[in-house]
Chains A and B, each alone.
Chain A
Amino acid sequence: MSKLIPSAAKFLAGNTITKVTAPVVATNAKYSTKKEATFEIKPYKLHKLDQGPATSATLTSEDALKLYEQLTILRRIETASGNLYKEKIIRGFCHLYSGQEAVAVGMRAAMRDADSVITAYRCHGWTYLMGVSVLGVLSELTGRRTGCSRGKGGSMHLYGRNFYGGNGIVGAQRLGRRYPLNKQYQDVHQSIN
């Protein structure tokens, strides 16, 4: 067997693509240096409305980088979860958010800090965005005591500040309808005082 290795190495080396270093460029013009960018949004069809949502949005470069960082972190969390699931370290169900990260990141960017979120079982992304650390999410998925639900919830039962899960049964999001009721209740209650 050991006699094969040098010849195998030569065989493999013959097919290797040698890395060519990129030519050094004088300026850093690879990355945009603009401070902000404006995007046109497709106009909405309006029904009985005088005015619709804004048709253009402006994004500063710091915000863009923050959003991009969140998108990448979510993707990496989900890729890691997928691999752990294949190794059977994550058991039961594992619903991944890969590909739809922009939905959560965009909503989070438009939300206020006081807003609450409730979602269904595809909740890993939202858990991170609502303030649970990456370690908290992955520990919970692998059933550890350091997880955000101390290992008792698993993939579908992750909770955080102003974040009500993580629900396994389809349709449980209707619990979210209590928020307008709560607000109405509080308003009435305050007005009595």
Chain B
Amino acid sequence: MALKSSPAVLGMLTRLSRRSFATSKALASKPVTVRDALNQAIDEEMERDEKVFVLGEEVAQYDGAYKVTRGLWKKYGDKRVIDTPITEAGFAGIAVGAAFAGLKPICEFMTFNFSMQAIDHIINSAAKTFYMSAGTVPVPIVFRGPNGAASGVAAQHSQCFGAWYSHCPGLKVLMPYSAEDAKGLLKAAIRDPDPVVMLEDEIMYGIPFPMSDEAQSKDFVLPIGKAKVEREGRHITLVCAGRGTDTALKAAEQLAGSKGIECEVVNLRTIRPMDFDTIARSIAKTHHLITVEQGWPQSGIGAEICARVMESPSFFELDAPVWRVCGADVPMPYARTLEAHAVPGPADVVDAVTSVLGNKISAVQAQ
């Protein structure tokens, strides 16, 4: 083997030292996967408060269907990490009942598609109770699990529930993107006295993100109801959540490189209550808006954002109509090519941006 130059050797050494991941919290420079961030969040909250417990299918002995609850059963035992039979209506009801009695359950759905079996408990038993009881019965429960399309799992396993759950008053709906989002939002959700639905993403579970020093702390909590500007820009605002943020950021990279269009990417983090102020401030800066989501177009998150913009002074800040980039209005097909067309990708966002900025592109480049 020829002798390698020192920059190459340094490169190799950096790659080697970066190889070990994620369950240790020692160095801020070590990237942490979303899965490990969620694991840390649940672990820290269970340690902090004895009333917190986890239940769901495969959460205990199998270490979690997606390994999010890895190691928790060994650490906390049968009483606090509970394997349930395949009956969502059953165990979601048990979890809500436990919350009524004062415990703090984390109810895991293997995917949110199965939550439809238990949706009566989520809406009627959990979401509405605090209101119906005039504040006498709080329901401090967290429903969490992967949401949206994975790869090749077809119609009944690929639905995005952001629009459905964010429709209901009484629920808080969170959609994390990065590992920091996942950890901070889950900790906030567990500490929150109201029912929270945490819509994670199976494909994001394995993706590592850098975790800042403060995110490593055991008291790192992100505020519910506050969006984050992931990328500053001045030409157009892209509002997104969850995996849509990944799509939007990739599209923003492409646009900045090829067309010189600077997109401001707003990661909602919380769908309900939605942080409209951040969106309004961004529109005041860029005057153009696109929403990016994986769910179906009708009555979706993008539709809600459009309506709010129309009903607020932000409408007068817009120089062009708002455009929604959504999943295709069909049940998710199975064939690979059809599935690729049914889910929005960076190319779709790039097309939408070019359409919205329309014939103003040459003006943009001249700036």
Contacts and interface: CB of A to CB of B under 8 A. Distances in A.
A154 B151 CA distance: 12
A143 B335 contact: yes
B86 interface: yes
Nearest to B86: A170
B117 A153 contact: no
B114 to A, nearest CB: 7
A13 B259 CA distance: 67
B8 interface: no
Contacts of B338: 143, 151-152
Contacts of B153: 92-93, 154
A65 B333 CA distance: 38
Nearest to A91: B152
A167 B335 contact: no
B156 A169 contact: yes
Interface in A119-157: 143-145, 149, 151-157
Given A92-B152, A168-B154, A154 B117 contact: no
Contacts of A152: 154-155, 331, 333-335, 338
A153 B334 CA distance: 5
A23 interface: no
Interface residues of B, number: 21
A154 B342 CA distance: 15
A155 B151 CA distance: 13
B110 to A, nearest CB: 10
B191 interface: no
A171 interface: yes
Contact of B156 (A91, A145, A156): A156
A102 to B, nearest CB: 25
Interface string B127-158: 00000000000000000000000111111110
Contacts of B155: 152-153, 157, 168
Given A153-B155, A156-B154, A92 B117 contact: no
Interface in A64-94: 91-93
B351 to A, nearest CB: 25
Interface of B: 86-87, 113-114, 116-117, 150-157, 331, 333-338
Q: Which 6 A-B pairs have the closest CB atoms?
A: A91-B152, A154-B334, A92-B152, A143-B335, A168-B156, A151-B335
Interface of A: 91-93, 143-145, 149, 151-157, 167-171
Given A92-B334, A168-B154, 4 more contacts: A92-B151, A92-B157, A152-B333, A153-B154
